[in-house]
A and B are shown apart, each in its own frame.
Chain A
Amino acid sequence: MKKIFPFFFLLLNSTWVFAQLTCATAVPLSLGTVTAPDVTGDAPATGCSLGLPGSKGLWYKYTATQNKTIRIATSTIGQNADTRLIVFTGNCTTLNCLTANDDFAGTFSQVTFNAVAGTTYYIVFDNKYSSLGFNITLSEVVVVPDRLSFTPQSVSTGGSFNNCVVDMNGDYLDDIVSVVSPTQIVISYQQSGGGFTSTSYTVPTTTITPTWSIAAGDYDNNGYNDLVYGSGSGIAFLKANSDGTAYTSDRKSQSFLVQRTNFIDINNDGKLDAFICDDNAPNRYYLNDGTNMNHHQGGLGDFPSGGNYGSIWIDYDNDGDMDLYIAKCSGGGSGPGGNIDELHRNNGNGTFTNVALTANMANPTQTWSAAWGDFNNDGWMDAVVGINSTSNGLSKVMKNNGDGTFTDKSAGSGYNTTNALSREYVAHDFDNDGFLDVLGAGNTIMFGNGDFTFVPNPNPYSIDYYDRPIGDLNNDGFLDIQNGNTILMNAGNTNKWLKVTLKGTQSNRNGIGARVEIYGAWGKQIRDIQSGTGFGNMNTLNAHFGIGQATAITKVVVKWPSGIVDVINNVTPNTTLNVIEGTFLDTKETQTAQETFTIYPNPTHDIINFKATNDFTPVEAKIYEMSGRMVLQTKVERNSISIKQLNIGNYLLILTDKNGKNYSQKVTKK
């Protein structure tokens, strides 16, 4: 054997003369086709987006002489090769991933990228799946440009569960939460000047990770968001301490297969509760008594064998409280299946009624989530019910008629011609044109046209199928998508935008459940503040609007879960507006909203009288200082109350009727 060794050594050495075997000797490619030999050279250090590299590689390079879109494709030379193609920029000392592809057509690869004049691109093939030779074709192509492009930017997240983008330190800048293990999270805090600073936290006794879903909300109203993990064996809460610098956990004992999780104030007491989809049984929810999150089951989707995948809370009937829609998926059999979607109307008194059938929302579609939003800007929340399987039909586009019913607008919508599938369907305005889009149906954004038609981006995006949380990660007013250790930074366009951030005082601190409206040349746009949209991810809690080329926002209205309404006139586009509950009260607005209901006299030094209507007869009154402190709580008798005991000044009056409906108005004690 010893004698053979030098022979092999020589053989290996001699192969160095074949140029394409190392980076340093990469063979220059030009337009046309060349044949690559068997894959026997140096392996690349990384497979980039393809994961680990093979053990061998082949090296080529291309230097652009002018800015062109270049396509590189492999094809067979008559044998069953299975190629992987990776393109790097940089130099042989420092190579940076540009793009990569494995199976574009059958087992052959293809990439297309915009080459910049003077730049050298290293084109590398590895032997992960086969070492057989193949053809390489390099061509210049004219591609349909992206409607909206994203620029990959690296970020160090630390963990393997990367499904949460939300503000965690109370500065309203979206941060990145990465769960490393049951005992560790890493939060990458967005800095005001851009970029991130990461902090690792040890979280004891969580025992689970957010394998199925994660949601964020400030359930103890202390100014720092808390988290809920959804796993195959129940949930755990992670609670931030008083300054957001440490987390404790509350692992709940109920063990069940969790799907979507949401923070939502189910009983509208100003404290966030948690709603939890149970895959196999009636849904669970944890009501917040101010100290504990207490387990309940029953009343919010009780199909015996579950099938509950994507819960989302919206105010579909514009009555000021949040309703529950459940995207459902389940196997068949005779009789009603667990796949029939449900729409639970909030009756305003702590009870809910499934109205899906009369609303025309009891679809059998096999769906894991639905994107809700006002797709035609008529002031009513519509839905795209997105498929995860085609076995019960394609995705459905449902228009809210404003009378409690929905009309199927799928025909011609763009969703009727795609059988692309997703777990995640979420509505955002990614291109800031003033019309909501949907990230969902494979790896594309379906850009909304404002009329229930949607057009996919001409080219699919490189996005993880599951973990794709959304937020504004560089605070430029365009929504970005986190994709593990890469952020797809929205390259933006000239459209303008507005972000509205909320701080509840009577309502929950996040303002989850609030309706935000903006008015301008486009008419009206609305958003509901939601924790837990899509299937497994947590997306930003900041309301984001695009307004196209409009130059003025005449009015922003925030309707809080408490019933308080804030109105802010003439808001500057391309800014972030922070609204603290009750600081922008507008008497005229609230009176208009309630029409004939009035209070008098105002200002007063003692008695306030209410002129009741059929719709609203107050039974209880609460009066708050403008700081949010409650100073008076009293029953309303004979349609009046006395505020004689109060000091002179301005106050916020909140009236509640027997159905739990609220009315708020600023009053002055003189």
Chain B
Amino acid sequence: MFFSCKDDERIEGVKIESSFVNFDINAVPYAKLSTYAFFKGDLKNLDPVDKVIPYEPASSLFTDYALKKRFIWMPQDVKATFDADDKTLNFPVGTVLIKNFYYNTIQTGNTTKILETRLMIKKSSGWIFAEYLWNDAQTEAELVTGTDFTSGSSKNITFKKDNGDIITTDYRIPSETECYACHKLDNKPVPIGVKPQNLNVAYNYPNGLKNQLQKLVDEGYLQSYPSNIVSTVNYKDTSKPLDIRLRSYLDINCAHCHQDNARCDYRAIRLSFSQTTNLAKMGVCVMADEPIDPSLERIITPGNPNKSVMHFRLSSINENNRMPLLGRTIVHDEGVELLKQWISGLNQTCP
């Protein structure tokens, strides 16, 4: 074996280790999204290079009807390991999670516009957040830094919903601490969606449908996974049982805060998919810490959405009583409808 000077080795190392992606863990986050070379061709096409693997959790978080394209990348020769069905995969240092937020019905003219790309990068010290804002020309996304990242911002947008409604809202670009508010477990930053329970479902890759966990294994990104994962479903899939759909929806939209050791663990409910088999943890018949009025005191009143605080909060856009607190400014009609259906179908009598 022969090695030349260290500099040469490092340059060569980067080239080989990252295939086409440019990643120096000591230099990231880069000032521009394009520098990573996650995508080939026009940046706005979000066409991933080799080893930048798309993924999609079975149910997704509602963020004002924004569409999302998510990707994962890891350095060569390292891989994630399975921890538990409901726990984020144990990712190696150097892992990058890439989440692009866009609309394809921006008015006028139903144009496509990417607003932001959020990265979570695992460094040896733990996960960091990097926020990139796209320019109007859609040619580049710039890193948000300094006081721009200690405070958030908003972008006024007008888009069309699937049902034809035209919505104008101040789309929220989070601050670093707002990222952390949701991505926080036991006082450490963590990813949310990339749990085995959410990825144990097929994705339509360019060369065909495949289970996403299997794909990660095939790519050398995941060591292995068990065959009996208790999994969430797509809440939109009406062929699935109503309660499983709702529990999947609550998991991805609410459980990052409403779980042990997270932001809202001082409240009674626990909304992780692995916990909500217990109706009390969903709030059924549970008195809310913060009643809304004398008729709206239980988190969920069986058979009566109008007397269920959870339904009230999901239906509210008032910042001081809506839920989720962060990440939405408008009502998710389909989510509220799902909750309403489920509550209406309950018939137990509260003590």
Pair from one complex: yes
Residue ranges of A at the interface with B (Cβ–Cβ < 8 Å): 50-51, 80, 82, 84, 101-103, 106, 128-129, 211-212, 231-234, 253-257, 278-281, 297, 304-306, 329-335, 337, 339, 366, 388-392, 421, 423, 464-466, 536
User: Shortest beta-carbon distance, A214 to chain B, in Å?
Assistant: 11
Knowing A103-B295, A212-B320, A233-B170, say if A305 contacts B265 (CB, 8 Å).
Answer: no
User: Shortest beta-carbon distance, A630 to chain B, in Å?
Assistant: 37
B261 closest partner in A (C-beta): A333
Asked whether B318 lies within 8 Å of A211 as measured between CB atoms, the reply is: yes
Give complex CA distance A465, B261 in Å.
Answer: 28
Asked whether A257 lies within 8 Å of B184 as measured between CB atoms, the reply is: no
Count of B interface residues, CB-CB < 8 Å: 46
Asked whether A101 lies within 8 Å of B294 as measured between CB atoms, the reply is: yes
CB-CB nearest 8 A-B residue pairs:
A232-B319, A281-B177, A333-B186, A211-B319, A102-B295, A391-B266, A280-B177, A333-B187
Knowing A331-B265, A391-B266, say if A255 contacts B181 (CB, 8 Å).
Answer: no
A-B contacts, 7 listed (Cβ < 8 Å):
A80-B349, A129-B304, A232-B319, A278-B177, A281-B150, A330-B266, A331-B262
Asked whether A392 lies within 8 Å of B266 as measured between CB atoms, the reply is: yes
Asked whether A257 lies within 8 Å of B320 as measured between CB atoms, the reply is: no
Asked whether A233 lies within 8 Å of B152 as measured between CB atoms, the reply is: yes
Asked whether B180 lies within 8 Å of A280 as measured between CB atoms, the reply is: yes
* B151 CB contacts on chain A under 8 angstroms: 234, 253-256
Asked whether B260 lies within 8 Å of A332 as measured between CB atoms, the reply is: yes
**Given A232-B319, A331-B265, 11 other A-B residues pairs in contact with their CB atoms under 8 A:** A101-B294, A103-B307, A255-B153, A297-B150, A305-B180, A306-B177, A330-B266, A332-B266, A392-B266, A421-B289, A465-B293
Knowing A233-B152, A392-B266, say if A465 contacts B290 (CB, 8 Å).
Answer: yes
A335 closest partner in B (C-beta): B187
Asked whether B320 lies within 8 Å of A466 as measured between CB atoms, the reply is: yes
Asked whether A331 lies within 8 Å of B177 as measured between CB atoms, the reply is: no
Asked whether A388 lies within 8 Å of B290 as measured between CB atoms, the reply is: yes
Contact of A329 among B147, B266, B297, B326 (CB under 8 A): B266
User: Shortest beta-carbon distance, A162 to chain B, in Å?
Assistant: 13
B152 closest partner in A (C-beta): A255
Knowing A129-B304, A129-B307, A234-B151, say if A257 contacts B185 (CB, 8 Å).
Answer: no
Give complex CA distance A330, B265 in Å.
Answer: 8
User: Shortest beta-carbon distance, B111 to chain A, in Å?
Assistant: 25
* A231 CB contacts on chain B under 8 angstroms: 319
Give complex CA distance A281, B321 in Å.
Answer: 20
Q: Majority SS of interface residues in chain B?
A: loop
> Is B178 on the interface with A (CB-CB < 8 A)?
yes
Asked whether A305 lies within 8 Å of B152 as measured between CB atoms, the reply is: no
* A331 CB contacts on chain B under 8 angstroms: 184, 257, 261-266
* B307 CB contacts on chain A under 8 angstroms: 103, 129
Give complex CA distance A388, B266 in Å.
Answer: 9
B175 closest partner in A (C-beta): A256
A129 closest partner in B (C-beta): B304
* A257 CB contacts on chain B under 8 angstroms: 178, 181, 325-326
B326 closest partner in A (C-beta): A257
Asked whether A330 lies within 8 Å of B263 as measured between CB atoms, the reply is: yes
Asked whether B319 lies within 8 Å of A256 as measured between CB atoms, the reply is: no
Asked whether A281 lies within 8 Å of B291 as measured between CB atoms, the reply is: no
Asked whether A389 lies within 8 Å of B267 as measured between CB atoms, the reply is: yes
Give complex CA distance A331, B255 in Å.
Answer: 13
Asked whether B289 lies within 8 Å of A389 as measured between CB atoms, the reply is: yes
B151 closest partner in A (C-beta): A254
Asked whether B180 lies within 8 Å of A423 as measured between CB atoms, the reply is: no
Asked whether B266 lies within 8 Å of A536 as measured between CB atoms, the reply is: no
* B264 CB contacts on chain A under 8 angstroms: 331
B318 closest partner in A (C-beta): A211
Give complex CA distance A391, B260 in Å.
Answer: 12
> Is B44 on the interface with A (CB-CB < 8 A)?
no
> Is B306 on the interface with A (CB-CB < 8 A)?
yes
Asked whether A334 lies within 8 Å of B187 as measured between CB atoms, the reply is: yes
* B293 CB contacts on chain A under 8 angstroms: 51, 464-465
Per the 8 Å Cβ criterion, residues 123-163 of B in contact with A are 147, 150-154
Give complex CA distance A27, B321 in Å.
Answer: 41
Per the 8 Å Cβ criterion, residues 260-291 of B in contact with A are 260-267, 289-291
User: Shortest beta-carbon distance, A586 to chain B, in Å?
Assistant: 46
User: Shortest beta-carbon distance, B20 to chain A, in Å?
Assistant: 36
Give complex CA distance A279, B151 in Å.
Answer: 12
* B80 CB contacts on chain A under 8 angstroms: none
Give complex CA distance A102, B298 in Å.
Answer: 13
User: Shortest beta-carbon distance, A582 to chain B, in Å?
Assistant: 41
Asked whether A281 lies within 8 Å of B175 as measured between CB atoms, the reply is: yes
> Is B172 on the interface with A (CB-CB < 8 A)?
yes
Per the 8 Å Cβ criterion, residues 336-351 of B in contact with A are 349-350
Give complex CA distance A254, B295 in Å.
Answer: 38
User: Shortest beta-carbon distance, A72 to chain B, in Å?
Assistant: 16
Give complex CA distance A305, B292 in Å.
Answer: 27
B347 closest partner in A (C-beta): A80
Per the 8 Å Cβ criterion, residues 21-36 of B in contact with A are none
Per the 8 Å Cβ criterion, residues 301-345 of B in contact with A are 304, 306-307, 318-321, 325-326
* A101 CB contacts on chain B under 8 angstroms: 294
Give complex CA distance A330, B289 in Å.
Answer: 14
* A128 CB contacts on chain B under 8 angstroms: 306
Asked whether A305 lies within 8 Å of B266 as measured between CB atoms, the reply is: no
Contact of B184 among A255, A256, A305 (CB under 8 A): A305
* A391 CB contacts on chain B under 8 angstroms: 265-267
* A421 CB contacts on chain B under 8 angstroms: 289-290
* B295 CB contacts on chain A under 8 angstroms: 50, 84, 102-103
* B178 CB contacts on chain A under 8 angstroms: 256-257, 280
User: Shortest beta-carbon distance, A632 to chain B, in Å?
Assistant: 42
Contact of B154 among A50, A102, A255 (CB under 8 A): A255
User: Shortest beta-carbon distance, B169 to chain A, in Å?
Assistant: 12
User: Shortest beta-carbon distance, B294 to chain A, in Å?
Assistant: 6
Give complex CA distance A392, B267 in Å.
Answer: 11
Give complex CA distance A234, B319 in Å.
Answer: 12
Give complex CA distance A256, B151 in Å.
Answer: 6
Give complex CA distance A281, B264 in Å.
Answer: 16
User: Shortest beta-carbon distance, B70 to chain A, in Å?
Assistant: 24
Give complex CA distance A474, B342 in Å.
Answer: 49
User: Shortest beta-carbon distance, A259 to chain B, in Å?
Assistant: 10
Give complex CA distance A321, B170 in Å.
Answer: 41
Chain B 71-110 per-residue mask, 1 if CB under 8 angstroms from chain A, else 0: 0000000000000000000000000000000000000000
